[in-house]
């Protein structure tokens, strides 16, 4: 059961976030390039699932005061977020962006 939860959090959730963002960003921000839309979707897909553990670490450590040893687990979570973004988020975002050209300009049809 625990393996299914890990699979959902570390694979399916980032893939869904990347696909949804990469599909909707061209409609929301048509002036952004496809490359920046793809990297934004992949970055969000990597960082959003890791945000809750990072917030939990910072809030949990804030009760005891600042400790420099807190930087090591936060840095490890940032590295995991980067790996998730590159391994899962980027290919899914590129797949979602495939075949989507620039939206047609309304001046072409007048």
Instruction: State pLDDT tens for residues 34-69.
Output: 899 999 999 999 999 888 888 888 787 767 666 777
Residue extents of the structural domains in the chain: 2-98
Structure pTM?
0.77
pLDDT of residue 109 exceeding 50: no
Checking phi first, is residue 20 left (phi over 0); if not, alpha (psi -120 to 50) or beta? Answer: alpha
| Sign (positive or negative) of CA dihedral 14, 82, 39, 89 | negative
Report pLDDT digits (tens) over 69-102: 788 888 999 999 999 999 999 999 999 988 665 5
Question: Which residues 6+ apart lie within 8 Å of 17 measured at CB?
Answer: 41, 44, 45, 48, 49, 89
């Amino acid at each position: 059961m625990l393996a299914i939860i890990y699979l959902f959090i570390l694979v399916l959730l980032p893939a869904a976030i990347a696909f949804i963002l990469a599909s909707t960003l061209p409609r929301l921000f048509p002036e952004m390039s496809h490359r920046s839309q793809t990297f934004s979707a992949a970055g969000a897909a990597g960082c959003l699932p890791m945000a809750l553990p990072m917030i939990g670490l910072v809030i949990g450590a804030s009760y005891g005061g600042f400790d420099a040893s807190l930087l090591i687990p936060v840095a490890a979570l940032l590295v995991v977020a980067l790996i998730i973004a590159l391994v899962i988020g980027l290919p899914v975002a590129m797949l979602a962006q495939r075949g989507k050209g620039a939206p047609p300009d309304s001046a072409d049809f007048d």
